[in-house]
Amino acid sequence: MIRLVSWNIDKRKEPWRELKEMTRRGEVDVALLQEAGSPPSDLVNMIEVEDDVFWNRNLYDRWPLVVGLSDRIKVESFSQTAPISDLGEGDIGVSGIGTIAIATVTPLDQPKEAFIAVSMYARWMKPHPSTCSSWRTGTSDVSAHRILSDLSAFIGHENPADHRILAAGDLNMFYGATGRTLSLPERERTVWDRFEALGLEFLGPQAPNGRQASTTPADIPQDTRNVPTFFPRGKSAADATGQLDYVFASRGFHENVTVRALNEVDEWGSSDHCRILIKVAT
């Protein structure tokens, strides 16, 4: 069993210490992080960084990362390059800065059970100034589609069972939204449909694999199985209502994967997003 945690850590320092403690207790092997920022100086050796790209603040400082944490696995990250048509063996073409990190995760005792792990962060993109738009935050589906285009480079067969891909992270979308209070549902629906078209099964987390909100957000059906994974500034885990974090896996491979939102108030953790626990049977 390989244990992963997907977590938007909001550039905070304390989540790194929590990850170290989880590793000490044998609870996690790999972290799929979003909005990683820099780790505390005494923990910087927890990760290896390719050419210091993640610390280049002139580009972006909320990078996703795939971090190996235990000695049970080997993590081999792909170097990010321009999205050219003929990629090198160790490269991944990336069309959106700060949206994706990809690595091969290999269980050392069962190397044939290796899989591709993807940390996704669909960052907000503002409309072009020429639109004179009032959308000050922007939209996340722009980045989500870039992520899916880049991830498609690892899909080379029609049968999804030929692939072993696990993708998780913060998509900044509300699954199942039907109204415009929270999202642009027609645009976001194209993202969910595209995951399915690529043979990537939606794994939630969905209830009962996580605490549901006491109040269903506006424009989300009352029978939703969404579980809150985020609370806004000035609120707390007890107030969380919206789900922004999700997990997908290749159809067939997904049968080996279970997910749960660690979103009870007493287990939430030190970020504004809760941790998503992912277990891959090997």
State the pLDDT confidence band at 255, using cuts at 50, 70 and 90: very high
Query: Quick one: pLDDT at residue 263?
Result: 96
Question: 170: which strand partners?
Answer: 121, 245
Domains of the chain: 2-280 (3.60.10.10)
Q: Against a cut of 0.85, is the pTM above it?
A: yes
Q: What is the pairing mode between strands 275-280 and 2-8?
A: antiparallel
DSSP E strand boundaries for 9-161? 30-34, 65-68, 73-77, 79-81, 91-93, 100-107, 115-121
- For the ranges 44-48, 151-155, 244-248, 272-276, which has the lowest average pLDDT? 44-48
Q: In this structure, what token pair is assigned to residue 43?
A: 């923990």
| Cβ–Cβ < 8 Å for 228, 265 | no
pLDDT digits (tens, 9 = 90+) for 192-231: 999 999 999 999 999 999 999 988 888 888 899 999 999 9
Query: Quick one: pLDDT at residue 51?
Result: 47
Cβ atoms within 10 A of the Cβ of 9, count? 26
Residues 6+ apart with CB under 8 A from 64: 32, 33, 34, 35, 36, 98, 99, 100, 101, 119, 120, 121, 169
Q: Considering only CA atoms, which of 21, 27, 15, 26 is closest in space to residue 65?
A: 15
Mean pLDDT of 126-139: 83
User: How many Cα neighbours within 13 Å face the side chain of 155?
Assistant: 22
The listed range with the strongest mean pLDDT (43-52, 76-85, 128-137, 222-231) is 222-231
